[in-house]
Amino acid sequence: MSDAIRNLDDVAAQRILEAIARSHARADNETVRWSPGLAHTLAQEFQLERRTLLVSEGELARQALLVLAEDPETRKRIEAMAVGTAGSAQKFDFGTMGITAAVLIVLQTHVRFEHNSDGTWSLKLEKKPTSDTLLKGLVQKLITFAK
């Protein structure tokens, strides 16, 4: 499955990620918003340094899909959507949900974000992924992407 995800083109990866993120989004719309403080807290929690390498939206989406694919049910959904996009040129409007928002929704399946009264963030790992490397890679790409 990981090769199928890695071989998705940018548009397909982003489209699949947004579809899955929408299904995971909380009904009360309490999605965490990106901020420099959140970036700092994520970097500390995952022991990462901010890199200056460029990360594309497609690369970030593929990494998020790899994390999501660790769940067998979600993996099936990704596979079905990936097959449906193969060989079809599709136009997709990303204006409805940004890639950063979609990735934060993915992270919320593993991490609980708490905004403290002093304006700082706290993180609590709620659902340990089978691969810390994939999750850490996702956070690294997100931090690099959402400067």
The answer to whether residues 62 and 13 touch, using CB atoms and an 8 Å cutoff, is: yes
pLDDT at 95: 45
Q: Nearest 10 degrees: CA dihedral of 71, 73, 75, 78?
A: -130
Question: What is the amino acid identity at position 51?
Answer: R
Return averaged pLDDT per consecutive 10 residues of the chain, 147 residues in all: 85 91 69 85 86 85 93 89 63 60 86 88 77 86 86
User: Domain tally for the chain?
Assistant: 1
pLDDT at 28: 53
pLDDT at 130: 65
Look up the domain containing 134 and give its range: 2-145
Q: Between helices 57-68 and 132-145, what is the axis angle to 10°? A: 160
Instruction: Give 121's strand partners.
Output: 115
pLDDT at 83: 80
pLDDT at 65: 95
- Select from 3, 2, 103, 95 the least CA-distant residue to 58: 103
Structure tokens at 5: 């995800």
